[in-house]
Structure 1
Amino acid sequence: MCGRFVLFTTEDALIEATLDTTDFAKVQAPAGLPRARYNIAPTTPIPILRAIDATEASIAPARWGLFPHWKRDDSGPPLFNARAETVSEKPSFRSAFKTQRCAIPMDGYYEWHQKQPQWIRTGSLIWVAGLWDTGLDMLSATMITTGAQAPLDQVHHRMPRFLQSEEISQWLMGTAEEAAELLAPGSTEGFQITPADPAVGNVRNDYPELISSASLF
């Protein structure tokens, strides 16, 4: 699973990284771009990338925790992860899976192993497959997860569905059948795992030392 992540690639750097790692020639951000954050938790706003057409995309803030279009209130646990194995079938996700797919940027994420948070990253911007919807008249999103692959399986049995550059357009603009081809675990090449500051357990803690001080723990 993934319940906390980090995004410090912001402002112009996020636009440039998006252009470098996707097939889009233009990326809009009409609502602005996020500030650097080091402890992003469910129910808070996250940036999501959606295709406008084959050459243009937009980045917009969305609540991390999907509200399906039929949702009438905000009761129940936040749907911040969606299992790849059932995402095309579950009522909460199946409609969005058909036509409302997004990609979520992150610089890395946290996972807990034996009560110790681990900082997981590659050293560059990472894209994760997601879904979006507009229940309760707000834009919201969830992150696709799969079974974990080495080396990440030593930390947790689930992991986000990471998208390689060549998979992003297929996920965002492909048919449901084409998107379903990407529901198997993605590549984990280049991932690194180090202990993170235990202070990440408190969502109010949001500062660079959570990861820059990781080697001290």
Structure 2
Amino acid sequence: MCGRYYIDEETAIELEKLVKDIDKKLNPHNYKGDIVPSVAAPVITSHNQKLEAKLLSWGFHRFDKKGLIINARAETIMEKKTFKECLSTRKCAIVATGFYEWDKSRNKFSFTHKENKLMLMAGLYDEEKRFVIITTKANDSMEPVHDRMPLILSQKELKIWLNEEKETQNILTQTPPLLNRHTDMEQMRLEFF
């Protein structure tokens, strides 16, 4: 679930507004387009209650060093050694315009936030400067395509997610907002006489 997302120009501008003192070396406009596992992308973290943007690579290394772990399930995250420490000390929000998902017939769909241009997906990062996206059970807008989806944060929840550990469990169990769903290939209906 959630193996590709994207950032457009407007989202890069929104990130600059949200993180006031963005490091000039981390120009979010350089990271537009599709983001796939293993590439570097901007994420939001917090240091001393202040939002920061960092450039991290998508995917934790697997223990056997054969591939990457790109997602973490919200329901089991507290039980997994790989994620447990990160959950208390290294939470982040992944910045996106939207994400892609494919249904069982391999039709590609894009999902965007209904109310905001900026989508914030809950995530974790490790000491190697790598991140994963937290996923949860699909809501009604996602379920026809896939049974999992990213855990979406509102802008109000962003600082709470990053800074208030006592609220972590509440956020992990919430249902994400409904999303816009679009595909370039709409189903054609043929009428036979």
Normalised by the length of structure 1, the TM-score is: 0.76
Alignment of 1:63 with 2:57, yes or no, is yes
Going from structure 1 to structure 2, the CA distance change for 1:156 and 1:147 (only over 3 Å counts) comes to same
Q: Which amino acid aligns with 2:44?
A: L
**Structure 2 SS opposite 1:104:** strand
| Deviations, residues 65-87 of structure 1 (Å, cap 9, x unaligned) | 0249xx6xx81221110000111
Alignment of 1:3 with 2:3, yes or no, is yes
Q: Distance in 1 between matches of 2:92 and 2:24?
A: 17
1:28 equivalent among 22, 36, 39: 22
Match of 2:80 in 1: 90
Q: Distance in 2 between matches of 1:36 and 1:118?
A: 21
Match of 2:15 in 1: 14
Going from structure 1 to structure 2, the CA distance change for 1:48 and 1:36 (only over 3 Å counts) comes to closer
Aligned residues: 183
Unaligned 5+ segments in structure 1 are 20-25, 197-213
Give the aligned CA root-mean-square deviation in angstroms.
Answer: 2.4
**Structure 2 SS opposite 1:93:** helix
**Structure 2 SS opposite 1:182:** helix
Going from structure 1 to structure 2, the CA distance change for 1:172 and 1:108 (only over 3 Å counts) comes to same
Cα drift, residue 188 of structure 1: 2.0
1:194 equivalent among 182, 187, 191: 182
Alignment of 1:137-216 (within 5 A): 139-175=129-165, 177-189=166-178, 191-196=179-184
Cα drift, residue 156 of structure 1: 0.5
Q: Distance in 1 between matches of 2:12 and 2:153?
A: 22
Q: Is the 8 A contact 1:107 1:121 kept in 2?
A: yes
| Deviations, residues 13-40 of structure 1 (Å, cap 9, x unaligned) | 4211x25xxxxxx343253123253321
Match of 2:90 in 1: 100
Cα drift, residue 91 of structure 1: 1.3
| Deviations, residues 28-53 of structure 1 (Å, cap 9, x unaligned) | 32531232533211111111101122
Match of 2:43 in 1: 48
| Identity over aligned pairs, percent | 28
**Structure 2 SS opposite 1:124:** coil
Match of 2:125 in 1: 132
Cα drift, residue 89 of structure 1: 1.5
| Deviations, residues 176-198 of structure 1 (Å, cap 9, x unaligned) | x4212111243323x211114xx
Match of 1:116 in 2: 107
Match of 1:209 in 2: none
